[in-house]
Amino acid sequence: MKFAVLVFPGSNCDRDMYFAVKDSLGEEAELVWYQDDVDLTDYDALLLPGGFSYGDYLRSGAIASTSGILRQIIKAADEGKPVLGVCNGFQVLLEAGLLPGAMLPNRDLKFMCHFEELVVENNQSMFTRQYAPNERISLPIAHGDGNYFCDEATYERLQANQQIAFTYAANPNGSVGDIAGILNEQGNVLGMMPHPERAVEQLLGNEDGLRLFQSIVTYWRDHYAINA
């Protein structure tokens, strides 16, 4: 399986994502600069890493969401390819309209960087199928604008459509409904603030994040590899 790790000016978790896929997962990965003329057709999954794209000017992820390469990312998502946005990548997906809602500054207006316990709310998606229902896992967070917000109607739709992938066991940032990660309605786009790529080896603290990437691979092999 071939992963593209998208790199914007200001991305700083792209190498973490790259080595998580290439070394810990053992799959093919390439760092892909954000230029408009880059062709993403040959990649099986797209990963938008964390960082501070364009310095978080205007809003986190706002400028990156207007890059020409987003047209290809949206096209890939429409075709059903897995698209994962982590931290700033999640913010980019929200700003681009691939996921509903918006990000606000953390409730206490402080940058947070530590491990958080999450609850797996939906283990039936292509990103979570290696987890048990309601399993508790530990992943690191590192964000200043991680307070997920949506209106009540949107939140009810997220619940009804099982689009809430992860919640915080002890909400650190004020997110609506303790939300830590959400899916699009089709189930092939996941945005999450915690960093699974920073929890793929015991040396990093635990391997709880590795199963997210393994879920993508097993789903792809079950559904697409025969025709690839």
Instruction: Give the β-pairing of 179-183 and 189-192.
Output: antiparallel
Which superfamily is assigned to 2-227 in CATH? Class I glutamine amidotransferase (GATase) domain (3.40.50.880)
How far apart, in whole angstroms, are the C-alpha atoms of residue 184 and residue 206? Answer: 28
Average pLDDT value over all residues in the chain? 96
Task: Provide Rg for the chain, Cα atoms.
Answer: 16
Q: Which residues are catalytic?
A: 87, 195, 197
| Burial zone of 22 (CB within 10 Å; 0-12 exposed, 13-18 middle, 19+ buried) | middle
Q: Is the pLDDT of residue 103 over 70?
A: yes
Please give the C-alpha separations between residue 56 and each of 46, 65, 90, 228, in angstroms, as whole numbers: 21, 11, 13, 37
Max mean pLDDT among 19-23, 35-39, 221-225 falls in 19-23
Asked whether the beta carbons of 182 and 163 are under 8 A apart, the reply is yes
Q: State the pLDDT at residue 226.
A: 58
227 has pLDDT over 60: no
Beta bridge partners of 104: 147
Per-residue pLDDT at 87 exceeds 80: yes
pLDDT at 49 over 60: yes
Q: How many CA atoms lie within 13 A of 50 on its CB side?
A: 21
How far apart CA 40 and CA 46 sit, in angstroms, is: 8
The answer, yes or no, to whether residue 225 has pLDDT greater than 70, is: no
Cα distance between residue 55 and residue 110, in whole Å: 17
Strand partners, 183: 190
